[in-house]
Amino acid sequence: MALLAQQLSRRFNSVKLNSFIKAKQVTKHSARPGKAVLPSFSAQALLSSDTCFLQRGIKTYRTLFWNSFHSASTSRKKSSAESTLLPSVTEQQEKILSPESELPLEELDDLPPLSPLQSVSEEEAIQIAAYSPLPISSFTLADYVDHSKTLQKLVQLGVDLSKIEKHPDAANLLLRLDFEKHIKEILLFLKDLGLEDNQLGPFLTKNYAIFSEDLENLKTRVAYLQSKNFSKTDIARMVKNAPFLLSFSVERLDNRLGFFQKELELNVKKTRDLVVRLPRLLTGSLEPVKENMKVYHLELGFKHNEIQHMVIKIPKMLTANKRKLTETFDYVHNVMNIPHHIIVKFPQTSWWPLHIVLELHQKQKKRGEGNRTRTSD
């Protein structure tokens, strides 16, 4: 037993020194630019917990070593009670081999390896806890899932950590969050809003920053949408299709709604229907929208009321690629000779990809040629 205590003591101090040296080396290397994909993505966020691997491992080895040494020391005291020198020697050994003591650095190289064949009592074996090592820094969140209940819960919800870990700041945010204190109330809020369980994972994968939002601010934004007569179903649909919607302040949401109502000269109901069908209009950039409005009017020759009619039917025309729009319109209008008023009634023909329009046109030509052949016969 005394041999086991001595070996455990030496092994523990050796592991602790090596871990300290490796931690310093990894910290120096991770500080250099270009050395890691996630330079600020580290285990520091998990080390503050009382249940951290390193602290639990230290406490376990200290307890195991001290119990072993104490029992061996007691046996020696009983067997040599008549000696006048042994008490002082024993006290000195207790001082040197206390749980908090460390061996001199120069003696660590001479430590004998701990034999795997060394017998361990059942009581001592119970006290040994085996944990996978916690990396100081990593390229992936997968290395921290076993140590973080928050990450485990998010994985169960269907959150794709491989997409979040591409953003080091977001990854470190999740490592610092407590599921019960910071995440659970947000999830309950989203479920009350109308999101289903299978929709939470994709939503949080895209808008993980919602965990940094104040819950009262989120409720205020929902209340604003309700004041504009958006139904609960409408709001749930908008939040699902535009996950960043709730990250916009009330002022920004109000400005966006006002922009579309003014630019397209729509009434309140039509403006509301427009953004419900394409909520990305409230969260995306306005530059493509402004550009497309100019293209329809100045380059393609549509009147304002015609643009308004087409956009109400197909809202995606506001965010379509400018080059694709002009190519398709040029073919439909100049090659197929379809006038503006027909395109306004069937705006999808000018919004479809060009290869689809070409395919439909070829089929139409073959059909026409077949009809002419039968007539001549």
Higher pLDDT, 259 or 75: 259
In a domain, 323, yes or no: yes
**Overall average pLDDT of the 43-66 stretch:** 47
- The reply to whether the predicted model has a pTM over 0.85 is no
Q: Which domain holds residue 313?
A: 285-376
At 97, which amino acid appears? Answer: L
Q: How confident is the model at residue 78 (pLDDT cuts 50, 70, 90)?
A: very low
Is residue 334 included in any domain, yes or no?
yes
Q: State both tokens at 258.
A: 């006002």
Asked, for residue 111, whether it belongs to a domain, the answer is: no
For the cut 90, the answer to whether the pLDDT of residue 365 exceeds it is no
Query: Which has the closest alpha carbon to 138: 42, 279, 230?
Result: 42
Q: How confident is the model at residue 54, as a pLDDT?
A: 43
Predicted pLDDT at 164: 87
149 within some domain: no
The rounded distance, in Å, linking the Cα atoms of 215 and 365 is 60
C-beta of residue 123 within 8 angstroms of C-beta of residue 4:
no
pLDDT in tens, 151-209: 999 999 999 998 888 888 888 888 888 899 889 999 999 999 999 999 999 999 999 99
Which of 91-100, 150-159, 264-273, 314-323 shows the lowest per-residue confidence on average (mean pLDDT)?
A: 91-100
Q: Comparing 312 with 109, which gets the higher pLDDT?
A: 312
Which residue blocks in 247-316 are alpha helix, DSSP H?
250-263, 268-277, 280-283, 287-294, 304-313
Domain annotation covers residue 259: no
- Quick one: which of 344, 266, 36 has its CA closest to 168? 36
Mean pLDDT, residues 287-303 taken together: 92
Percentage of the residues of the chain whose pLDDT score is greater than 90: 38
In a domain, 362, yes or no: yes
Residue 4 covered by a domain: no
| DSSP letter string, 217-251 | HHHHHHHHHHHTT--HHHHHHHHHH-TTGGGS-HH
Q: Is 69 exposed, middle or buried (0-12, 13-18, 19+ CB in 10 A)?
A: buried
Q: What is the mean pLDDT of the chain?
A: 74
What number of other Cβ atoms are within 10 A of residue 279's Cβ? 22
DSSP state of 330: H
Looking at residue 254, its pLDDT comes to 95
> Which pLDDT does position 96 carry in this prediction?
44
Mean pLDDT in residue range 328-339: 88
Region 37-58: mean pLDDT is: 47
Alpha-carbon distance of 111 to 217, in angstroms, equals 60
Number of domains in the chain: 1
Q: What are the Cα distances from residue 6, in Å, to 70, 90, 96, 97, 106?
A: 11, 14, 11, 8, 17
